[in-house]
Amino acid sequence: MKYNISKGTTIFLLLNLFVNVNYAQTRIKAMMYNILNYSDSEVSQNKTPFLSTILNEVNPDLFMVCEVVDEIGSDYLFENAIIPFNEDFEKAPFEENQSGNYSLQQMVYFNTKKLILEDTRVITADTRDINQYTFKINTENSDTNPIILQVFVTHLKASTGYNNRQRRLNSIQSFVSFTNNIENDSHVLFAGDFNFYTSNEEGYQHLIDDRNPIVMLDPIDRPAPNFPDDNVDYYENYNSTYFWNNSTFADIHSQSTRTSNSGLIDDSGSTGGLDDRFDFIMMSKNFNTSSDLFYVNDSYQVVGNNGNCYNSQISNSNCSGTYSQTLRNALIEFSDHLPIVMEIETPENTLSTDVVSSIKFVNSNTTEDYLKIFLTDNLDKNNIKIYTINGQLIQIKTQANTSDNSLMIDVRHLSKGIYYLSHQKLNNPLKFIKI
C-alpha cells in the first residue's frame, strides 16, 4: 500500500518531533553504594581509580554511600574520584556516627546543576546513624514552585539471628518515627545497606507498612514468598525458598561480588559470590502518583548484575551481558557490594541550561560520515556518548583535535536515522541525524 503525505503534514510531523524531543524535563539518577571500609589508606587510594571507572559508566547525580571510615576518607574520595568525574559535584557535611560504637559513616555527594542541599540532620538509631539530607531540585521555577526531595541514608546491623534482626527493626522504627516530623506528601528516598535476608523480616515489613506516616515502597516489588502459616520458625529451620538468597532473585542480588579475596587490592570484603539482596533504595508511595517528581519505570537496577551470576564472582566471564567486563572488573576490585541505581524525573527544567552551549555542532547536526563537534569549558572528550532513539548505547570512534578543541566522531557505521549525543554535563541530549 502506498501512502501520500502532504508537505504540510510532513512539516507538522517534524515540528511535533522537535517539540517532543526538546520538552523541558530533568532526570535525576540516584546511586547507593557500600564502598567497603573506605578511608585515605593506601589500600583505598589504590582502589579509587576503579571507582572512577564505575562513576563514568553509571553517571549518577546523587551518590549515596556507606562505610566511609572518617572525614579524611570522604574528602579523599571527593577530590580524587568525584571531582575528576564531574566538577559540578559538591559533598554534604560529614557527620561522625552518634549511634553505638561503630565507626563507619554515611555520606552523600551531589550534582549542583540539579540539586541544592537545603539542610542535613542526624537521626540516632541502633548500631549506626540515619543521615537525612533535604534537597531542592534546581529548576527554573524553584523559587515559586520548589520541589523538595528528602533523602535518608543508613547502614543497618549485619548478620543472621534474632538479636540482629531486632536491631535492624529498631533502626527502621527510628526512621518511621522521624517521618512524623516531615510533611506526609514529601518525596522520600531511603537508601542503604539494609542487610535484610528476606522481605519477611520484621524490619522490612515495618518499613513498607501502609499505616506509616509516609508509606514507603520497594520500587521493584520483588518480595520473597511469605512464610507458611504452619508454626515453623523458618529463620531457625532455614528454607531458601522464603529468602532472597536463591536463584529466583539472581538478577537483584547485590552482595558479594567475590568468591575469594585473593589477589584483590582490598581483601577485607565478604566472599561467597553473588547471592544476597542487601542493598536498597526505597521510595515514598507518592513517586508513583505525583506529577512534580516521579519514579522512572524500570530504572531500578543493580549495577553490574547481568542476572546470570548466582553464587559466582561478578568478574566471571560467564556473567557477561549488558554490563561490560571492564565495569565488572572494576566492581569486584572496589567493593564486595554492587551499587543500586534508580531514576526520578520532574517535568521542570533545571536552572543551569547554559552547559548545553558547551558542546556545539560544527557546520550541521546532519551528516553521512563524520560528526564534528566543538567542546568548550575543557570538557572531557572521553565522556561523549551516542544513543539511538530507543536508548541503546552506540560504540563510537573519536579523533580529537587539541589545537581547536574539536572532536570528529565516526558515524559511517550507523544506519540512517535520528540519534542523540550525550555528555555527563549536558542537562539534555543533543539530537543529530545520520543521512
Residue 76 has pLDDT above 80, yes or no: yes
pLDDT for 367? 85
pLDDT for 418? 82
pLDDT for 16? 42
Higher pLDDT, 198 or 381: 198
Q: Are strands 26-38 and 62-68 parallel, antiparallel or unpaired?
A: parallel
C-beta separation of 130 from 123 below 8 A? yes
- For residue 149, list its beta bridge partners: 135, 187
Q: Are strands 430-434 and 366-367 parallel, antiparallel or unpaired?
A: parallel
As a whole number, mean pLDDT of residues 45-56 equals: 97
Mean of per-residue pLDDT scores for the chain:
88
As a whole number, mean pLDDT of residues 141-157 equals: 93
Res. 419 pLDDT band, cuts 50 70 90? confident
As a whole number, mean pLDDT of residues 78-98 equals: 95
* Fold classified for 352-434: Immunoglobulin-like (2.60.40)
Res. 24 pLDDT band, cuts 50 70 90? low
- For residue 124, list its beta bridge partners: none
As a whole number, mean pLDDT of residues 88-95 equals: 95
pLDDT for 48? 98
pLDDT for 408? 84
User: What is the percentage of the chain residues whose pLDDT exceeds 70?
Assistant: 88
Question: Residue 110, exposed/middle/buried by CB under 10 A (0-12, 13-18, 19+)?
Answer: buried
As a whole number, mean pLDDT of residues 129-149 equals: 92
Which stretch of 284-298, 326-340, 351-365, 414-428 has the lowest confidence by average pLDDT? 351-365
Higher pLDDT, 115 or 3: 115
Per-residue model confidence as pLDDT tens digits over 305-315? 999 999 999 99
As a whole number, mean pLDDT of residues 13-31 equals: 60
pLDDT for 19? 37
Range(s) within the chain of domains with CATH label 3.60.10.10: 26-346
Residue by residue, DSSP assigns 315-375 as T-GGG-SSS-HHHHHHHHHH-SB--EEEEEEESSPBS-GGGGGGEEESS-SEESSEEEEEE
As a whole number, mean pLDDT of residues 65-83 equals: 97
d(CA 20, CA 11) in angstroms, rounded, equals: 14
Res. 21 pLDDT band, cuts 50 70 90? very low
Range(s) within the chain of domains with CATH label 2.60.40.10: 352-434
Residue 51 has pLDDT above 80, yes or no: yes
Per-residue model confidence as pLDDT tens digits over 239-292? 999 999 999 999 999 999 999 999 999 999 999 999 999 999 999 999 999 999
Model-level pTM? 0.79
* Fold classified for 26-346: Deoxyribonuclease I; Chain A (3.60.10)
